[in-house]
Amino acid sequence: MTRMAVFWILIPLFIGVLFIGLYRNLLAKLAVIFGASGRFIPWRDVDAAALGQAYADEVVFQRRIRLRGRVPWTRHILISWGFSVLFVFDLLTALLTKYLPSEPFLDGNVGWLFLKFGLNLSGMVLLAGLLIALARSVTTAGTEHARFNDTPGTAFLLLVVVTGFVAQGMRFANVPPQPGYGWALLGYWMGEAMRAGAPYAGSHAFVWVTHALLASAFLAYLGWSRMIHVFAAPLGRIFYSQTALREAKVRPVMEGLLKPRAGSR
Amino acid sequence: MPPALRRFAWWSFFVTEAGLVAAASAYVGVATRDFWLVVASAVVAAIAYVAAVLRTPAPDLGDATAASRRWFWL
């Protein structure tokens, strides 16, 4: 059984755990809020301009987090964009090198180097954000500023990223250097730094499997921790950008307040 | 739970799991030992998900808003 096969056997389970978490901790609670606020608004009443504006403000530029300060905003934007772009490059790499392999995406060719560049650049952006977050967790511990810290989530994701870079470094250290490998940035630099201990055979397999399992487990963890905000926060902000939905929430409350109380005249 | 949200909960899960099994089978092959292990993994996930959906009590508004305060959403 190959390492990738082990990963593929486990991933439906991990994603199942993510979905269970999302159902219990997001959908079930969302349902109550919709029930109280007049539920969904019809498609024809969706304000597309407000939706686009909310998406740009809350997801792309994260302006609300900018109000908390420059450091929290930098930390959050590096982590969220680093993670998102890395995830896309991960999918592209699996698709273009494993499922639909073609000449440009073979080891060392231009497409392969492009994927390595994207993976490593986004991974480095994510790593920088996580290091800022970890430093901030330490420096703000016990203060009001610690309210938005997520130290367990940060440490977990940092472990995923570090094992990924180490696995990649071992892989580069195991092969002779080639022109163009420098586009792999930190992965390549780590490989050169680790070359003295090469070849890494069993240890590379161990670190690769550890990284794959940790990355999959992190996806499951998203639904059961504060990291659920990855799904919930943009969703909530985008919903509340809709005037019709806000009105649907306020109306029953106001009607309830205006109703005469039982026993009153 | 509104029927549309419940439908979304079912469809999103089963479509995702089916997609994963399809993607895995492109790698491990169809009707191989590893393929059946992938299917078994998806079936276990499905059983756990169905049980979770059926057994999750409907929270009241207090639970729901407390969760949003705790996790900073909505």
- How far apart are alpha carbons A259 and A256 in whole angstroms? 5
**Out of B34, B37, B63, closest to residue A29 by CB:** B63
Residues of B in contact with A235 (CB under 8 A): 73-74
Taking the CA of residue B29 and the nearest CA in chain A, the distance in Å comes to: 10
| Residue range A224-237, pLDDT digits in tens | 999 999 988 888 78
Rounded to 10 deg, the angle between the A3-22 and B3-28 helix axes is 180
| Residue range A186-221, pLDDT digits in tens | 999 999 999 999 899 899 999 999 999 999 999 999
Identify the burial level of A43 via C-beta atoms within 10 angstroms of its C-beta, where 0-12 means exposed, 13-18 middle and 19 or more buried: exposed
Residues B5, A29: C-beta atoms closer than 8 Å: no
| Residue range A112-165, pLDDT digits in tens | 999 999 999 999 999 999 999 999 999 998 888 888 889 999 999 999 999 999
Total domain count for chain B?
1
**Out of A8, A12, A40, closest to residue B45 by CB:** A12
- How far apart are alpha carbons A20 and A26 in whole angstroms? 10
Instruction: Give the gyration radius of chain A's Cα atoms.
Output: 23
CB atoms under 10 Å from CB of A141, counted, come to 11
**Out of A1, A23, A233, closest to residue B73 by CB:** A233
Q: How many CB pairs under 8 A join A and B?
A: 129
- How far apart are alpha carbons A181 and A187 in whole angstroms? 9
Residue with tokens 């909960």: B9
Rounded to 10 deg, the angle between the A151-173 and A202-222 helix axes is 150
Confidence of residue A262 (pLDDT cuts 50, 70, 90): low
Coil/strand/helix, residue B72: coil
- How far apart are alpha carbons B13 and A20 in whole angstroms? 9
Confidence of residue B73 (pLDDT cuts 50, 70, 90): very low
Residues B58, A28: C-beta atoms closer than 8 Å: yes
Residues of B in contact with A40 (CB under 8 A): 2, 4
CB atoms under 10 Å from CB of B45, counted, come to 24
Looking at A9-13, A151-155, A251-255, B20-24, which range is the least confident one?
A251-255
B64 → chain A, closest CA residue? A29
Interface test with B, best of A30, A37, A65, A95 (most B CBs within 10 A): A30
**Out of B20, B48, B64, closest to residue A20 by CB:** B48
**H helices present in A94-150, as ranges:** 110-139
> Which amino acid, residue B60?
D
Q: Is the pLDDT of residue A79 over 80?
A: yes
Interface test with A, best of B37, B61, B74 (most A CBs within 10 A): B74
Domain span at residue B17 reads 3-71
Angstrom distances, CA of residue B70 to CA of A141, A149, B67: 18, 12, 5
For residue A242 the two structure tokens come to: 């809709």
Contact A241, A54 (CB under 8 A): yes
Residue with tokens 């808003």: B65
A98 → chain B, closest CA residue? B27
